Chains A and B, each alone.
Chain A
Amino acid sequence: MHNIIVRDLLRVRLSQMLINEKYKEGKFKIPIHLSFGHEAIAVALSHVLGKEDKLLLTHRNIAYNIARANKLRPILDEYLLLKTGLAQGRLGSMNLMNVEGNIIYSSSILANNFSVAAGVAMGEKLKSNPSATFVLGGDGSMEEGSFYESLTMMNSLGLPVVVIIENNEWSLGTHISERRIHIDVEKMTSSLGINYVRLEGNDTCKYMDELQSVRNLSLKDNKPICVEVIVKTLGDRRNPPSPEYPDGKYINYHAGPTHTVNLLQEKPGIILRFDLYDPLFVTSEHVGLKTITELADIVLNELKNELL
């Protein structure tokens, strides 16, 4: 794996850690949905994105925004509603956008962005631009009617859109199994004549290869493709014990600061989980823990210098 990819992964992880520390101190005026554990798909997509491609995100967009931005300061400043922010402090929510960095829209209304992506892709088609539109959603968004409506529309109109579902199996403090039946995205999309690709294992280079193929195929066939990515959003906790849950109910991280993630000086505190659900652990298996920790020091210093 190339060091640039490792550095990008570390940048997304460490930037979020720095933001998390400030978040714990109550520095931000708006809510933020952190994305620890989403670094592999964010970095892979950022590398695959063509110059003219468009990217439409959800409320959990921070990893993608860090991956697409050259600097951390404008992101922090946007959260602080400052004029030096990404959008001059005008956004007032976690929905960051960076039009110059191809992130043209973000929405926290579940499934809202799928149909907007269809319109954007139609606009590209009108201009005969050979570009792809990427739109993100979560496992909650595919419960919304607009997911189905937009897929139908995209395929009916022959639009090259890559629909990426980040499935972390949780919605707020509720696991999927606590709120609905299982949705087989492959069967659902296949019933609409749309190809389906499943990504799991957080291997960034493998994700890049897969996304590149998906992008090329979508453009070649002028068709949408649905990619389901299995992720765990890290930073979980347990509620206080109760009669129903004597050990405290397990809650996957959703939003706000996570107190189970700390910017530790001891190595290898950068890795949050020693299995396939942590992209940094997966990367350490490829390049070695030593490389990860050495590069982490460099990237952290760079980020701290940026924020001086």
Chain B
Amino acid sequence: MKYLEYMNKLIIEHVITTENCVLFGQNINGGSCLGGLTRNIKVTEKNKIFNSTNAENSLVGFGLGLMMNDASAVFLMKQLDFLLLGIDHLVNTYNIMRSLKDKYPQGSFTIIATVVDSGYDGPQSSFNNFYDLCAIARVDGFNINNKADADHVFTKEFLQPGFRIIALSQRLSKEELNETALPLRVLANGNIFQYSEGSDITIVSNNFSYTIAVDLIQTLNENSIEVAHFHINNIINTDWKEVIENISKTKKIIVIDDSKSIQSSVDNLLSMLVGIEISKKIILKRQIGDDWLYPRSDIFEINKKDILNELLHN
């Protein structure tokens, strides 16, 4: 099954068993179905689905208003860039609701948005900056990389009381879903999955870089380097205890971040390593050059050979 088909399946499965749920977004009910994301979506009589107006700022306020009034709201958004128009509500409206949590009923609001990370779309669609958007208001933000994290996020977060954003990858959308990824441990209340155990080095991947990390780990394993791999599911995670404990043991860390955020979750982790003895630190992030405003490939590539040499010979 393709990545996007599976996301659609999860949305339909969860919505069908929920009452008092409102799904909205542009062209979600028929029409283009957001590239297939909402194809064949149906709701029961107790729920509602509608094609919304083009008004992202107000649609975010609308969703929070529904949440304020005990409904479960789901805003399906074509691409994350559009959410820039709703920042006021992410910051102000949601903060008020959080501060008066005990005064309001326990409604739910989820925004599902696609991160454009796959193309040559030029300056307008270069907003692969999910962390920036979530960090501005400390909104929980979940990236979906594979079946395991999708199952976890849709079971534990989607339609649950509170507000969160779920980001999907356009690059992965037409690819086969990774169904083999299985976490060894669920950490920080599900904000982090540990996928492999190893005593030589710790790898922490972020955003949509899970497969990049797995590919690198395979190369390292072939060279007898055993890796403890952690992937950050919720980019606003603040509980690094067990990851830091692991880094304290291996004393080596590689962080991988394929987003375009200058600061991100992995930087947050690195800032927490003060006082920890580290013999090797490799930071794999995008090198943003002068051409960043021009159409260019969004594919994030790493040089495995150089990394291997760095680990074997330095």
Q: Is B62 in contact with A123, judged by CB distance below 8 angstroms?
A: no
Cβ contacts under 8 Å, A127 to chain B = 20, 70
Q: Does B22 contact A (CB under 8 A)?
A: yes
A145 to B46 Cα, complex, angstroms: 32
Out of A54, A119, A121, name the residue touching B64 (CB < 8 Å).
A119
Classify the interface of chain B: helix, strand, loop or mixed. Answer: helix
Out of A109, A119, A153, name the residue touching B69 (CB < 8 Å).
A119
Cβ contacts under 8 Å, B52 to chain A = 153
A72 to B68 Cα, complex, angstroms: 26
Q: Is B58 in contact with A150, judged by CB distance below 8 angstroms?
A: yes
B-contact 0/1 string along A202-215, CB 8 Å cutoff: 00000000000000
Q: Does A183 contact B (CB under 8 A)?
A: no
Nearest residue in A to B20 (C-beta to C-beta)? A126
Q: Does A67 contact B (CB under 8 A)?
A: no
Interface members, chain A 83-126 (any B CB < 8 Å): 87, 90-91, 95, 97, 99, 104-105, 107, 109, 112-124, 126
A145 and B96 contact, Cβ closer than 8 Å, known pairs A120-B65, A123-B65: no
Out of A105, A120, A146, name the residue touching B96 (CB < 8 Å).
A105
Q: Is B93 in contact with A112, judged by CB distance below 8 angstroms?
A: yes
A122 and B62 contact, Cβ closer than 8 Å, known pairs A90-B99, A149-B55, A153-B53: yes
Interface members, chain B 39-94 (any A CB < 8 Å): 46, 48, 50, 52-53, 55, 57-71, 73, 88-89, 92-93
Cβ contacts under 8 Å, B20 to chain A = 126-127
Q: Does A156 contact B (CB under 8 A)?
A: yes
Q: How many residues of B contact A (CB 8 A)?
A: 34
Interface members, chain B 3-40 (any A CB < 8 Å): 20, 22
Q: Does B104 contact A (CB under 8 A)?
A: yes
A97 to B100 Cα, complex, angstroms: 9
The minimal Cβ–Cβ distance linking B88 to chain A, given in whole angstroms, is 6
Nearest residue in B to A107 (C-beta to C-beta)? B92
Interface members, chain A 140-167 (any B CB < 8 Å): 145-146, 149-150, 152-153, 156-157
Cβ contacts under 8 Å, B55 to chain A = 115, 145-146, 149-150, 152-153
Q: Is B71 in contact with A90, judged by CB distance below 8 angstroms?
A: no
A123 and B99 contact, Cβ closer than 8 Å, known pairs A107-B93, A118-B58, A150-B58: no
* Residue from B50, B61, B107 whose CB has the most chain A CB atoms within 10 Å: B61
Q: Is B58 in contact with A120, judged by CB distance below 8 angstroms?
A: no
Q: How many A-B residue pairs have CB under 8 A?
A: 115
Nearest residue in A to B103 (C-beta to C-beta)? A99
A99 to B101 Cα, complex, angstroms: 11
Q: Is A118 in contact with B92, judged by CB distance below 8 angstroms?
A: no
* Residue from A87, A115, A124, A156 whose CB has the most chain B CB atoms within 10 Å: A115
Out of B46, B53, B68, name the residue touching A152 (CB < 8 Å).
B53
Q: Is A126 in contact with B68, judged by CB distance below 8 angstroms?
A: no
Cβ contacts under 8 Å, A118 to chain B = 58, 61-62, 65
The minimal Cβ–Cβ distance linking A131 to chain B, given in whole angstroms, is 10
Q: Is B69 in contact with A124, judged by CB distance below 8 angstroms?
A: yes
Cβ contacts under 8 Å, A157 to chain B = 50
A150 to B64 Cα, complex, angstroms: 14
A32 to B73 Cα, complex, angstroms: 33
A114 and B61 contact, Cβ closer than 8 Å, known pairs A87-B100, A153-B55: yes
Nearest residue in B to A56 (C-beta to C-beta)? B65
Nearest residue in A to B47 (C-beta to C-beta)? A126
The minimal Cβ–Cβ distance linking A168 to chain B, given in whole angstroms, is 23
Residues of chain B having any CB pair with chain A under 8 Å: 20, 22, 46, 48, 50, 52-53, 55, 57-71, 73, 88-89, 92-93, 96, 99-100, 103-104, 107
Pick 22 A–B contacts, CB within 8 A, sort by A.
A54-B69, A87-B103, A97-B103, A107-B93, A109-B88, A112-B92, A114-B61, A115-B60, A116-B61, A118-B61, A119-B61, A122-B65, A122-B69, A123-B65, A123-B71, A124-B69, A126-B46, A126-B48, A153-B53, A153-B55, A153-B58, A153-B59
A-B contacts besides A97-B96, A115-B57, A156-B53, 5 pairs, CB < 8 Å: A104-B68, A112-B61, A116-B89, A116-B93, A119-B71
- What are the nearest 8 A-B pairs in CB distance? A119-B65, A123-B69, A115-B61, A115-B58, A149-B55, A149-B58, A116-B65, A119-B62
